[in-house]
Amino acid sequence: MSKIKKVAIVGGTHGNEFSGIYLLRKWQQSTVLDRDSFSVETVFANPKAHNDNKRYVDHDLNRQFNVTDLANNELASYEQSRAKAINQQIGPKGNANVDFIIDLHNTTSNMGPSLILLQSDSFNRQMGAYVKMQMPKAVVVFEDHTPVEHHHFLSSIAPQGVIVEVGPQPQSVIRQDILDWMDEMTKHILDFVHLHNIGELLPLIPSYEAFRYHETLSLPVDEQEQRIGMVHHSVQDNDFKLLRNGDPIFTLFDGTEVHWQGDYEAYPHFINEAAYYDNNLAMSLAKKVLITTHG
Amino acid sequence: MSKIKKVAIVGGTHGNEFSGIYLLRKWQQSTVLDRDSFSVETVFANPKAHNDNKRYVDHDLNRQFNVTDLANNELASYEQSRAKAINQQIGPKGNANVDFIIDLHNTTSNMGPSLILLQSDSFNRQMGAYVKMQMPKAVVVFEDHTPVEHHHFLSSIAPQGVIVEVGPQPQSVIRQDILDWMDEMTKHILDFVHLHNIGELLPLIPSYEAFRYHETLSLPVDEQEQRIGMVHHSVQDNDFKLLRNGDPIFTLFDGTEVHWQGDYEAYPHFINEAAYYDNNLAMSLAKKVLITTHG
C-alpha cells in the first residue's frame, strides 16, 4: 500500500442517519480532522433526503456506485444524479481523486461501533487491528465477498474505503453515546492512516476476532409478500451473539416459533434494521473469523 | 360513568408506528377483542402514511381533532380529510357513535408500556389502577391539563379515550417485546371496560403512583433554529427517572454541558423521540403524583 494523500469523510449518505451529518458540522468548527500526512475533504452526500427526513428521495444512494450505473446517463433520479456528482467530486471510480473514503452510517440495530471493511488486504487487516486496540468495544466486519470494484457502495469509489456503522439509534435521532462512538472511531481511523503514511504503525496485535458476512435472511411473508412474522425476542438486540442450528429466530403473528436451520455457527447483525422495511430483510448472518494482522 | 357500549381501537394514526398496525391485522384473525358487554370496531387511521412509511403525509393526524378544525372545510390536506372521515365514522366529537377509544402508538423513547389518560375522573383513575395491578410494568401518565373537548388528539372524539404508548421502538420496526406489551395492555383495558360494565370491578388498589404532564423542553438551537446540542447521555433512556435542579440535561456539540434549572422534581419522558425532529423538542417533563383510585 502506498501512502494515502487524500481522504474523504462522507456523512448523510442516508438522510435520516443523523450522527455523521452532525459530526461533519461539528468537525468543520475545529481542526480535529487535520493530520500532517494527508488532506481531508468532507462530503454531505444526500442533503435533499436529510431535508425530507428520509433515508433517500428516489433510490438508496448507497447502492448507486457500480461502474456501469455511474456510466449510464439514463439513470437520472435524484440519488442517481447525486451518485454521478459525488463520483465527479471525489472519484471517478477506477481513477479516483481521493485515496480513501470513510462513509458514516447509523443503524437501528444493536451493532455498537462497527467498522465495515470491504477488503481484507494488509492495509485493512492492520486498520482493524489498530481500531480494536484503541477501542476494544469496536466490532470489525469484513464484507469482502465482492471485489471492491463491483461494490455499489459509495465507499467503493476510492481504492480504499470503509463504512463506520454505529447503532442502535432510531432514524432521525441524535444519541450522544452513538455520536461519541462515531467521533472516536473516525479519529482512530485517521490516526491509523497517518501512522501508516509515516511508517510508524507497529507493534499491532498479531491477530484478532472479527466477523465475515455470509448471508442475508428475510422475514417470513405470505404469497402476497405481506409479513406474517417478526424477529424472535431472543434474537432482538443480540447482534454479534451466537446463533446455532435449532435456535428460535422468528415468531409468527399466530404465535408459532420458527427455528433457524443452518449448518454453521452464525452471528446475526443488522437485526431488525428499520431501513430494510421495504424489502422485508430480517438480518445479516456472519461467521466469526480470526484475522491475522500481518502477512 | 354509564356503560360503555361501543369501543373503537385505532392503529396506524402515525404511519411508521408499526405495533398497532400489525396488532389490528393479527386481532382480525381472532376473537381476542370480543367481550360480552360491548362491541369493538377497529380503525386503520392513516393507511397512506403507512404506505409511504412516514408518520404523516401532510400534517400530523393526531393533532387534527379539535372541534373548530373538524368543522373547517378549508382544512383539506390528506390528514385533515382523514380526520373528518374518522370523525364521521366513530364520532362526531361531542355526540360520538363510540363511547371509548383506544389509540395505539409507539415511541422511540424508553417509556415501556405507558397508558396515557386524558382525564382524571373516577373511570380513568380506576382504569389506571386496574392496568397497574394486572401489568406492574405499566406506567400511567395523566395528560389532563386540557379539557378533553379541547384536545386535538384522535382519542378525544369519544367521551372517553386513552392512548397506549409503547417503546422504545424505532420507527418502521416491529419488535416482539413492544408488540407483546401493547397486545397485553390493550386486553387489560378491554377487560377493565367489561368489568366496569358488569359492575364487578372491586377490589382495586386504593392508590398508585403515576405521572402528570407538566411541560415540554426544547433542544438548544441557534438563531437560525439549527440544533447546537443534544440530550445528555445521562438522561437518554432514563424516561420516568428523577431529574433534579442542576442535573445535566443537554450536551452542546462544542462539549459544553447544560444543567437543568427547575424548582421541582421532574420526571422526563418522550426523551429524544424521533418524531419531534421537526420542532426540536427534547422531552416532556412530568411530576410524580399519587392517584387515589376511589372517591
Between the alpha carbon of residue B196 and those of residues B118, B125, B179, B192, the distances in Å are 18, 12, 26, 6
- By C-alpha distance, the chain A residue nearest B278 is A53
| Whether pLDDT at B166 is above 80 | yes
Kindly state whether residue A250 falls inside one of the protein's structural domains: yes
Nearest Cα neighbor of B26 from A255, A260, A249 is A255
Kindly state whether residue B227 falls inside one of the protein's structural domains: yes
Quote the CA–CA distance of B29 and A255 in Å, as a whole number: 12
The DSSP 8-state label assigned to residue B163 in this structure reads E
Residues 6+ away with beta carbon under 8 Å from A262: A243, A244, A245, A285
Q: Is the domain of B124 the same as that of B32? A: yes
Q: Is the domain of A134 the same as that of A230? A: no
Q: Which amino acid is at B164?
A: V
Which pLDDT score, from 0 to 100, does residue B2 have? 87
* CA–CA min distance A131, chain B (Å): 23
Q: Is the domain of B122 the same as that of B174? A: yes
Q: Is the domain of B230 the same as that of B276? A: yes
What nine digits make up the cell of A232? 424472535
Kindly state whether residue B122 falls inside one of the protein's structural domains: yes
Kindly state whether residue A50 falls inside one of the protein's structural domains: yes
Query: Cα B219 to chain center, whole Å?
Result: 22
Q: Which of A176, A231, A277 sits opposite B236 (nearest CB)?
A: A176
Kindly state whether residue A1 falls inside one of the protein's structural domains: no
Q: Out of B205, B223, B241, pick the residue that ends a domain.
A: B205
Kindly state whether residue B1 falls inside one of the protein's structural domains: no
CATH code, B233: 2.20.25.160
Quote the CA–CA distance of A128 and A224 in Å, as a whole number: 43
Chunked mean pLDDT (size 10), chain A, 295 residues: 94 98 95 96 98 95 96 96 98 96 98 97 97 98 90 95 98 98 98 96 93 97 95 98 98 97 98 92 98 91
Quote the CA–CA distance of A260 and A249 in Å, as a whole number: 6
Mean pLDDT in chain B? 96
Tally the domains of chain A: 2
The size of the A-B interface in CB pairs under 8 A is 87
| Whether pLDDT at B202 is above 80 | no
Three-state DSSP state, B178: helix
Which H or E run includes B121?
A: none
- pTM beyond cutoff 0.90: yes
- By C-alpha distance, the chain A residue nearest B24 is A253
The predicted-structure confidence for B73-111, as pLDDT tens digits, reads as follows 999 999 999 999 999 999 999 999 999 999 999 999 999
Q: Which amino acid is at B40?
A: V
B26 touches A at CB < 8 Å: yes
Inter-residue contact A204 to A124 (CB < 8 Å): no
Q: Is the domain of A114 the same as that of A178? A: yes
Q: Out of B205, B231, B251, pick the residue that ends a domain.
A: B205
Contact criterion met (CB < 8 Å) for A175 and B278: no
Q: Is the domain of B228 the same as that of B182? A: no
Span B28-53, mean pLDDT?
A: 96
Give the domain range for residue B61.
Answer: 6-205
Q: What is the CA radius of gyration of chain B?
A: 19
In terms of phi and psi (left: phi > 0; alpha: psi -120 to 50; beta: otherwise), the region of B264 is beta
Q: Is the domain of B100 the same as that of B160? A: yes
Q: Is the domain of B95 the same as that of B123? A: yes
Contact criterion met (CB < 8 Å) for B177 and A236: yes
Residue B12 exposed, middle or buried by CB count within 10 Å (0-12, 13-18, 19+):
buried
Quote the CA–CA distance of A116 and B74 in Å, as a whole number: 52
Quote the CA–CA distance of A227 and A90 in Å, as a whole number: 40
Quote the CA–CA distance of B57 and B241 in Å, as a whole number: 34
- By C-alpha distance, the chain A residue nearest B30 is A254
| Whether pLDDT at B295 is above 80 | no
Binding site as annotated, residues of B for Zn(2+)? 14, 17, 105
Q: What is the 3-state secondary structure (H, E, C) of chain A?
A: CCCCCEEEEEECCCCCCHHHHHHHHHHHCCCCCCECCEEEEEEECCHHHHHCCCCCCCCCHHHCCCHHHHHCCCCCCHHHHHHHHHHHHHCCCCCCCCCEEEEEEECCCCCEEEEEECCCCHHHHHHHHHHHHHCCCCEEEECCCCCHHHCCCHHHCCCEEEEEEEECCCCCCCCHHHHHHHHHHHHHHHHHHHHHHHCCCCCCCCEEEEEEEEEEEECCECCCCCECEEECCCCCCCCCCCECCCCEEEEECCCCEEECCCCCCEEEECCCCHHHHCCCEEEEEEEEEEEECCC
CATH code, A94: 3.40.630.10
Nearest Cα neighbor of A45 from A89, A11, A79 is A11
Three-state DSSP state, B250: strand
Contact criterion met (CB < 8 Å) for B172 and A274: yes
Q: Is the domain of A170 the same as that of A230? A: no
Considering B79, B143, B149, B165, which one is annotated as catalytic?
B165
A26 touches B at CB < 8 Å: yes
Q: Is the domain of B24 the same as that of B133? A: yes
What nine digits make up the cell of A75? 439513470
Quote the CA–CA distance of A30 and A139 in Å, as a whole number: 28
Q: Is the domain of B231 the same as that of B200? A: no
Kindly state whether residue B121 falls inside one of the protein's structural domains: yes
Q: Which of B172, B236, B272 sits opposite A277 (nearest CB)?
A: B172
Using a CB-CB cut-off of 8 Å, the residues of chain B touching A173 are: 108, 272, 274, 277
Kindly state whether residue B30 falls inside one of the protein's structural domains: yes
Q: Out of A205, A221, A255, pick the residue that ends a domain.
A: A205
Q: Among residues 184-223 of chain B, which lie with CB inside 8 Å of chain A? A: none
ipTM for the complex shown? 0.94
Could you give phi then psi for residue A19, rounded to 5 degrees?
A: -60, -50
Q: Is the domain of A114 the same as that of A249? A: no
Which pLDDT score, from 0 to 100, does residue A268 have? 98
Which pLDDT score, from 0 to 100, does residue B148 have? 82
Which pLDDT score, from 0 to 100, does residue B37 have? 97
Specify whether B165 is catalytic.
Answer: yes
